């Protein structure tokens, strides 16, 4: 006599255990994916801020190093490296240093187009033959050889990018009057603020012409612009978008500026560097 074995399914307890194990594994995998995504977002945000800062420092450093270059063919055409608001024509159009040390918060740092975020500074040079462009890379109408170009840099809200950006604008200057003005253009997006200190020598150059910076001061405290031999720059850059879903309070100090206070999920970083002025007069 052949006896058939009765087939049995899973018991309720076994089904519940299987369900719990499945949910646990699914949850663990989801957590790994979420964590990986957050790490990737954070890494991308840090990289964006760092890459923007590297570009800005390299760009401004190149502009500063060539500042103060006089005419190669005409000794009568000369300029300061760093321009000041002592020139009435430059002061009238805002093409000279401006000091803003109040800091900012997330609520007002991008208040509106044209809002200044930090300091403004202006440097000048006489481009050699074959170069007729300002800091934006475009020629200024009316430029002729041995004309002084004053390049002005600041941070402001960029409507097109919907974020703060580093701006630049070039001006043709004859030593007394502004002859022509180029278009202001954003150079780098994601720059929240720019602050400047000027390395000034309080005494004349010694006979060996060795430059000794006595102090670093803001634009309002410079006593003699012709003895500014270095520029210290601090920039705050940011990620393009939020890097987490959490709102965190972040505070930053830039040189002599007031406190920058933020409550958001954006990655920001502050970078500082000092550049010597190669071409100078005393």
Tokens at residue 160, please?
Answer: 């097109």
Q: What is the pLDDT of residue 113?
A: 40
DSSP 213: -
Low-confidence spans in the chain with pLDDT less than 70: 1-10, 34-43, 101-116, 207-209, 241-245, 280-282
Q: Are 213 and 230 in contact (CB under 8 A)?
A: yes
pTM for the whole structure: 0.80
Does the CA dihedral 92-94-97-102 come out positive or negative? positive
List CB contacts of 263: < 8 A, sequence separation 6 or more: 106, 247, 248, 249, 250
Q: Are 238 and 267 in contact (CB under 8 A)?
A: yes
| Digit-coded pLDDT (tens) for 195-241 | 999 999 988 777 666 778 999 999 999 999 989 999 999 999 988 86
d(CA 84, CA 229): 14
Q: What is the pLDDT of residue 196?
A: 95
Q: Please choose, from the candidates 169, 167, 82, the residue with its C-alpha nearest in 3D space to the C-alpha of residue 134.
A: 169
| Digit-coded pLDDT (tens) for 55-69 | 999 999 999 999 988
Cα 13–chain centre separation: 63
């Amino acid at each position: 006599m052949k006896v058939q074995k009765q087939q049995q399914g899973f018991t309720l307890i076994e089904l519940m255990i299987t369900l719990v194990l499945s949910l646990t594994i699914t949850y663990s995998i989801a957590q790994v994916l979420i964590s990986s995504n957050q790490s990737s977002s954070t890494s991308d945000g840090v990289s964006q801020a760092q890459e923007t800062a590297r570009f800005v420092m390299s760009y401004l450093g190149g502009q500063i190093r060539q500042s103060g270059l006089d005419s190669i063919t005409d000794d009568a055409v000369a300029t300061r490296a760093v321009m000041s608001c002592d020139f009435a024509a430059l002061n009238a159009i805002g093409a000279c240093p401006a000091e803003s040390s109040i800091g900012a918060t997330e609520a007002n740092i991008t208040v509106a187009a044209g809002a200044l975020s930090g300091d403004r500074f202006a440097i000048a040079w006489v481009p050699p033959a074959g170069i007729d462009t300002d800091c934006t890379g475009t020629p200024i109408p009316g430029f002729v050889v041995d004309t002084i170009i004053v390049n002005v840099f600041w941070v402001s809200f960029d409507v097109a990018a919907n974020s703060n950006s580093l701006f630049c604008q070039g001006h043709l200057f004859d030593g007394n009057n502004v002859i022509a003005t180029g278009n202001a253009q954003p150079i780098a997006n994601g720059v929240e603020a720019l602050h400047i200190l000027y390395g000034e020598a309080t005494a004349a150059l010694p006979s060996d012409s060795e430059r000794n910076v006595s102090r670093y001061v803001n634009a309002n405290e410079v006593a003699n612009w012709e003895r500014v031999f270095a520029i210290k720059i601090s920039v705050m850059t940011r990620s393009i978008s939020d890097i987490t879903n959490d709102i965190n309070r972040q505070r930053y100090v830039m040189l002599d500026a007031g406190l920058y206070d933020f409550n958001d999920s954006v990655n920001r970083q502050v970078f500082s560097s000092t550049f010597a002025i190669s071409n100078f007069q005393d």
